[in-house]
Structure 1
Amino acid sequence: MKLSAEACDGALVVRLGEARLDAAIAIQFKDQMREVLLQPSPRVVLDLSDVGFLDSSGLGAIVSVMKGLSPGRKLELRGLTTNVEKVFRLTRMDSVFSIRANGPDTALRDAG
């Protein structure tokens, strides 16, 4: 699974470089995110711009990551493709997560 992270303007930006976040990789995603999140940062931006498909297992994995954050840390999502954004909207998870517009650093600008 391709997961990369870098510090950028006070946020930890994590990019998932996979076409699908589904049952096949959900557990691996959660495990790798747990390791990545050991890096200190009050904001975590999860970039899903490469993800074209998200199922309930993938959505559950993202929720699990959010719930696993220590108090005071915030998870933001960005780069949602049309199909992925539709899953968040249909499940009403778009009201739970902070979702930013596409673009390389839009999430960082919008939050400031």
Structure 2
Amino acid sequence: MELQVEGRGAVTVVRPAEARLDALGAVAFKDRMKAVIEAAPGRVVLDLSGVGFIDSSGLGAVVAARRFLREGQAMDLAGLTGPVGRVFRLTRMDMLFAIHPEVADALRETA
């Protein structure tokens, strides 16, 4: 799974390039996120605005990526589409992450 990574000061914004985060790409997503998080200087914002579908494997990969955070790092989510947001709410995984409507909202919180 391809990830677009953009540094914004101490914040690293990550966008999956595919519209689906499912069993087919979950392992690759988790591996790429590990590399991104290890290289990130601080907070990571996962921009899911381009993801229209997530299954349990994709959700598990997002949650598993949190384990790669170092002390002092955090991972926020931004731009959850309707179906993706429902999955996070139904599974109560929305309690694990700070969720922002847009990346800009997450970045403002850093300032």
TM-score bracket for this pair, using the shorter chain length: over 0.9
Matched, 1:14 2:17: no
Identity of aligned residues (%): 50
Give the stretch that moved more between structures: 33-42 or 18-27: 33-42
Distance 2:66 2:50 in 1: 20
The one-letter code matched in structure 1 to 2:76 is: E
Higher helix share: 2
Distance 1:21 1:54 in 2: 5
Distance 2:32 2:75 in 1: 16
Matched residue SS, 1:38? helix
Distance 1:96 1:40 in 2: 20
Structure 1 residue aligned with 2:28: 28
Moved over 2 A (4+): none
Query: How does the TM-score come out when normalised to structure 2?
Result: 0.93
Structure 1 residue aligned with 2:64: 64
Distance 1:107 1:70 in 2: 19
Distance 2:47 2:37 in 1: 14
RMSD: 1.3
CA deviation profile, 1:18-47 (whole Å, cap 9, x unmatched): 110000000000111112223232200000
How far off its partner does 1:111 sit?
4.0
- Structure 2, unmatched stretches of 5+, are none
Q: Do 2:21 and 2:53's aligned partners in 1 also have CA atoms closer than 8 Å?
A: yes
Matched residue SS, 1:105? helix
Structure 2 residue aligned with 1:40: 40
Structure 2 residue aligned with 1:105: 104
Q: Do 1:30 and 1:61's aligned partners in 2 also have CA atoms closer than 8 Å?
A: yes
- Structure 1, unmatched stretches of 5+, are none
